Structure 1
Amino acid sequence: MDQVLISFDVDGTLIRSIGEDANAFHKRAFSYVMKQIYGVDGTIDAIKHHGSTDKQVLINTLAHYGVPPSQSEPRVPEATDKMLEYARLHPEEVSLGLEILPGVAALLQELHSRKTVLIGLVTGNLEEIAWMKMMALGIYPFFSTPQFGGFGSDHIERGELVKVARRRAEELFPGGIKSHFHVGDTPADIQAASYGGAHAVGVCTGVFSALELTEAGKGNKHGVTILTGLADQSLFLQTVGL
């Protein structure tokens, strides 16, 4: 049974930040970690971090505040544990300032109904936090069971996460994977798809333009498709050969 693997980025692809509390949970978790582990009062809003894994965001933000990577990196495992501690202490904050993007719930539900489609995540979020977001926003049931993906807790480089997701899918769902599509809203997602051996599907639902996503996809021998978003279900299904 040839299967189609579709991995989705989370922030900017499936969900977006809105209002005064935009992405408040994640921001607060990072600030908590920086204060508790490094003694730094700071916010990830101090740097541009779209497309980065959580570990990269932490290291780069601390560098902005004067803590060099040589000092921050050795304590990253301790820091990620502390971030999860914050998440478990404040589950009521998970969906604060977040909403599902148009068409996402309906598309995931349709993909979930197809027996040959495997649906997972590839995100810079730590695994537990990524699934907490999916649960809080009501789309967790539409992912393949058992749940799988590649996460910021697995590796600091996003391209490696695409490979991790495919390897886990192959282990969990025997039968062979015919094709792999990775969906994301940043140039980093497009490049990660290429590195990980997947067809890149760029969506213009974040802060990057179609041109920027197209440029990032140059040289991807597995293919690149740029969409305005995920609201046009028929177009997406056509893109992934369904």
Structure 2
Amino acid sequence: MEHGKKETKRVLITFDIDGTLIRSTGPTSNHLHRQAFSHALLQVFGIDGTIDVIQHHGSTDPAILVNTLIHYGIPSKVATEKLSDLKSKMIEFAKGHAKDIGEGLEVLPGVESLLQTLSSRDAIVIGLVTGNLEENAWMKMEGLGIEKYFSVPHIGGFGSDHIDRGHLVKIAAERAEKLFPGKFDLRVHVGDAPNDIRAAEFGGALAIGVCTGIFGKEELDQASTEGAVVLKNLSDCESFLNLLGL
């Protein structure tokens, strides 16, 4: 087969979620995720608050929780000590409202087609690296109909694993190497925020930025010290595969 040799190149690709695979839309923008934060703040600290009081794009859920609580006057140490309870309350809320998980969210153009193409290749392992908590991340993927394209068993690095996004790319790679034994010839992380670019490079992966979130090409380029590739979006499947040498 003509493509046989190319197919032996083993690639691990991880995707960020919000702003990369999906976007928030309309008046109920990312409704359930935002509500889950507010529920946790109320249940654990009695604070009737919202994450919209801080800049949270490209952050992890635990960091968002801590920074929001600091805004509301809770000391960082106290907020950090309660992270386990806060995360549990977020997951509990999301599970209780799972039928609404896709409200105010939509899959970005080209994403489903790209995931479908990647998932059809045996030598490619597809996972997530996201600031979302793990259970909530997969609920989003399922609710939007794209979970089926990710490698099984599911792998990734999540906000439930570490407060710092930089470590999540490494965590995802370690999990992939255990569950899909053998060396990966290339590791790639795709995201829409400068923090995604920095995390990819910190974690030893090729950084691919996409301008489908709130950041432009210049901001994504500036975040890179190792020549990240920045794309307008994920609509051109062929170009994406060429980037990976596939």
- TM-score, scaled to structure 2: 0.96
1:135 corresponds in structure 2 to 142
1:214 corresponds in structure 2 to 221
Distance 2:67 2:128 in 1: 24
Please show how residues 1-242 of structure 1 align to structure 2 within 5 Å.
2-217=9-224, 219-220=225-226, 223-242=227-246
Distance 1:108 1:8 in 2: 10
Q: Contact between 1:3 and 1:178, CA under 8 Å: does it hold in 2?
A: yes
Q: 1:49-104 deviations in whole A, cap 9, x for unaligned?
A: 00100000000011111112121110100110111110111111210100000000
Question: Structure 1 residue 175: deviation in Å?
Answer: 2.0
Counterpart AA for 1:154:
D
Distance 2:56 2:237 in 1: 29
Distance 1:42 1:69 in 2: 17
Distance 1:130 1:68 in 2: 28
Distance 1:151 1:169 in 2: 14
Counterpart AA for 2:237:
Q
Distance 2:9 2:113 in 1: 24
Counterpart AA for 2:32:
F
Structure 1 ranges of 4+ moved more than 4 A: none
Q: 1:90-143 deviations in whole A, cap 9, x for unaligned?
A: 111210100000000000000000110010000000000000000000000100
Counterpart AA for 1:233:
C
Q: Contact between 1:53 and 1:156, CA under 8 Å: does it hold in 2?
A: yes
2:5 corresponds in structure 1 to none
- TM-score, scaled to structure 1: 0.97
Counterpart AA for 1:232:
D
Distance 1:147 1:2 in 2: 20
Distance 1:231 1:33 in 2: 36
Distance 1:229 1:139 in 2: 17
Counterpart AA for 2:182:
G
Q: Percent identity?
A: 54
Q: Contact between 1:2 and 1:175, CA under 8 Å: does it hold in 2?
A: no
**After the TM superposition, which of the residue ranges 193-202 and 231-240 deviates more from structure 2?**
231-240
Counterpart AA for 2:239:
L
Distance 2:85 2:60 in 1: 16
Q: Contact between 1:29 and 1:86, CA under 8 Å: does it hold in 2?
A: yes
